[in-house]
Amino acid sequence: MSTHLNYEFLFVGRDENSFLENYVYDSTEDLGEKGGRLWVTIEIQNNPAEAEAIAEAIFERMRKRFFTDLEKEPYARFEAGLKDVNKTLESFKEEKSSHYIGNLSVVIAASVKSELLISQCGEAEAYLIRKRYVSVLTEGLSEDNYEFFMNIASGTLEMHDFVVLCSSRLLRYISKTEFSKSVVIGDVVKSLEELKEAVSPEILGKIAIAGICVSEKQMEEPVVEDKLEEEIGEGGAIIRPSFLASKFGFLKGLSPFLKSEKFRNMRNLKDKLQFDKIDFDKLKVKAGDAFKKAMELKERFVKPESYKDKALAIAIAGIVLLGVVIGVVKYSQGRSAELLVLDQKLNTARDEISEAMTKGQYDKAEAARILSHAEQSAKEVLNTDMRAKATEVLAKIQDTRDVLDNVKRSAPALFMDLNKVKSGINALGVLFLKDRMYIFDEFSLFEILLDQIGEPMKIADGETVIAGTVFGERASLVFLTKSGKLIEFKDGVFKYFSTADGVFHKGVAIKAWGDRVYILSPEEDQIWRYSYLNTKDAFGNAESYKKDGDLKNAVDFALDGNVFVALNDGQIVRYYRGNAQVTPMTKTPFRPMVSASKIFTDDEMMQIFALDSSENRLYIFQKEKKGEELSYSKQYQFDGVGEIRSLYFDKTANLIYFLDSKNIYKLTLL
């Protein structure tokens, strides 16, 4: 049974903070099945100036190499393409003093006949849905010691297979069961519509998706050849059509159609549809006459026999040539003037960058205005022949903003690889108690002493932990579970806490202050406060802390006497005694937070740390007037790190510890 690949593309979400694109190159019409098809789905974060150029370079290098030597095995062609792409990306890095070109999430796939080849880097993934079973094709392809393409997955496609390429990890947002149900066998468009409907409510950012469906190939009607054959002229001479005449060869293809069964069937429609005013026999004769005249005209053009014909042809050619020359001259003059204007725009933008650098030392607002104008000018040149120069100016604008924002690009040191203790760990948080570090995931707690990590300790049967905190009053750790239970770890023993209410409120984060614990519950638009009762070894009734304001979009909070709440749109809101407070922000950054995920401070710190999860940026704000005002200080851009889940600041050593799902990192603050 002959198979056919249908494919479509989709973008889900509304966030525009990164570059997203789907590319495809289908060579099967020109080169046949041995040529194959190529798909690239890509996301580039934190490099708006060069993202599109990098993405196009990836696609072009892969396309050129993969379709160069079709006699080689598909695997060898794919591997050679990836090597070229890696070299291209390394050259981009070498051009940057920081060697940073953004966070790349790319999945590349190719098919030749029924063979599928895939590679990926970053967060991008590929999935195969076969007989309602979902498998991750890219699992294990990337390696921590290299940021680009390392490994290749290959296999054979079967009838009704459905392949999904995605710039992010789809299984973060939907289950495999939901994923499988969204696939409509044989219908790639309907499948992507169903997938979008399932994923959209869960996604905060934006993702790119490509869907590839294996279906039965439909039989096509034979196509009439439109290539002119050699004709036998008078006297047996062979007439070979000129290039131009061959382009009109489609006229020759009409004649068989006029005599075909299809045309006779069209005449029969006259009786069925009652087109009494149309004489199809006359129409056939007229069409034949028109065709004959066209062929005679073509014959004269190909083989002119009279001097007049030749003279006329030469005159026409001369006029056409003169018109072309005049057009080229005018175009060149206009083009030179246009390039001069574009170059002047870029020079003005460069001058504005220098001016903004000076102004920014004492008037950041004015520097921001100047840089915005320079950026607009450079973007106007971006889609012209001076794209490369415009890209350089845009990169310089971003570098200037980073300098004025005091941005530090850092590759933090790896403190510990948690995979060595628990394979496939999904770490959630880091806590410090009595000079000891603890790491926890959904089910287990790990104690770290010096550089040694202990065996996992199960927190509770049948419970899933979502957050934890240090309960200083009891020198213990307290964990909040998905079902709304509080579990304490003290002196090596786990136990459940109880409350006078019978059950605790559910939430997304937990913090302790004195003898009280606070639970953040965006779903209930509230922060619940519980007081610990020593005499009963339990907590009292829940108290509503928040009196006004809106916490529906809250994601995390921190306590220092005030309550600082991080919202998912990047805002930080301060509460005092339950009331939302006006908290002025001075020295605001050019690049504000857009998607806060974590916030950290305590009563001994003069800073507030806030994490922007969309770009793995750590923002540091200084507390002014005991936290009544905040002043932007600096930010750190972390490279080569996964999604940061938790952080802790060691004030004595001036070290910040943070972890993603697999590793613990440390960084000395500058």
| CATH number of residue 606's parent domain | 2.130.10.10
0.95 exceeded by the pTM?
A: no
DSSP-derived letter for residue 508 is S
Tell me the torsion sign for CA atoms 181, 186, 190, 196. positive
Q: Which two tokens stand for residue 465?
A: 């932990």
Q: Give the model's confidence band at 428: pLDDT under 50 very low, under 70 low, under 90 confident, else very high.
A: very high
Identity of the amino acid at 647 = L
Q: Return d(Cα 443, Cα 336) in angstroms, integer.
A: 68
Name, in order, each residue with C-beta under 8 angstroms of 302's C-beta and a sequence gap of 6 or more.
Answer: 239, 241, 242, 245
pLDDT > 70: percent of the chain = 81
Give the SS3 label for residue 407: strand
End-to-end CA, the chain: 65
Q: Are residues 345 and 388 in the same domain?
A: yes
User: What pLDDT, on the 0 to 100 scale, is given for residue 200?
Assistant: 82
Residue-range definition of the domain harbouring residue 355: 328-404
Q: Which range, 169-183, 267-281, 301-315, has the best average confidence (pLDDT)?
A: 169-183
Are 55 and 101 in contact, with CB atoms under 8 Å apart?
A: no
Over residues 523-538, mean pLDDT? 95
- Provide the domain count of the chain: 4
Residues 618-631 as b or e (16 or more Cβ within 10 Å = b): bbbbbbeeebebbe
Strand partners, 108: 40, 119
Q: Return d(Cα 259, Cα 11) in angstroms, integer.
A: 49
Give the SS3 label for residue 205: coil
Give the SS3 label for residue 38: strand
For residues 212, 215, 219, 221, the Cα torsion angle rounded to the nearest 10 degrees is: -30
H helices of 26-152, in order, are: 28-31, 51-66, 74-94
Q: Give the model's confidence band at 243: pLDDT under 50 very low, under 70 low, under 90 confident, else very high.
A: very low
Are 36 and 63 in contact, with CB atoms under 8 Å apart?
A: no
Domain boundary among 166, 181, 216: 216
Q: Are residues 558 and 624 in the same domain?
A: yes
Pairing of strands 596-600, 607-612: antiparallel
CA distance readout (Å), 303 to 238, 246, 299, 310, 624: 11, 13, 6, 10, 91
Q: Are residues 661 and 585 in the same domain?
A: yes
Q: Are residues 200 and 274 in the same domain?
A: no
CB-CB neighbours of 511 under 10 Å: 21
Residue 662 lies in a domain: yes
Residue 310 lies in a domain: no
Domain boundary among 404, 427, 445: 404
Q: Are residues 286 and 353 in the same domain?
A: no
Q: Give the model's confidence band at 291: pLDDT under 50 very low, under 70 low, under 90 confident, else very high.
A: low
Residue 460 lies in a domain: yes
Q: Return d(Cα 538, Cα 1) in angstroms, integer.
A: 70
Nearest residue to 80 via CA among 71, 93, 69: 69
Q: Are residues 391 and 451 in the same domain?
A: no
Q: Are residues 462 and 545 in the same domain?
A: yes
Residue 225 lies in a domain: no
Nearest residue to 185 via CA among 131, 244, 140, 147: 131
List pLDDT tens digits, range 559-594.
Answer: 999 999 999 989 999 999 999 999 998 888 888 888
Burial of 609 (0-12, 13-18, 19+ CB in 10 A): buried
Over residues 53-64, mean pLDDT? 93
Q: Are residues 380 and 255 in the same domain?
A: no
Q: Are residues 478 and 539 in the same domain?
A: yes
Residue 232 lies in a domain: no
Residue 223 lies in a domain: no
CATH of the domain at 96: 3.60.40.10
**143 or 301, higher pLDDT:** 143
When mean pLDDT is compared across 13-17, 142-146, 258-262, 631-635, the lowest value belongs to: 258-262
pLDDT > 90: percent of the chain = 42
Residue 136 lies in a domain: yes
Identity of the amino acid at 420 = K
Domain boundary among 345, 373, 404: 404
Over residues 35-47, mean pLDDT? 90
List pLDDT tens digits, range 630-663.
Answer: 999 999 988 778 888 999 999 888 999 989 889 9
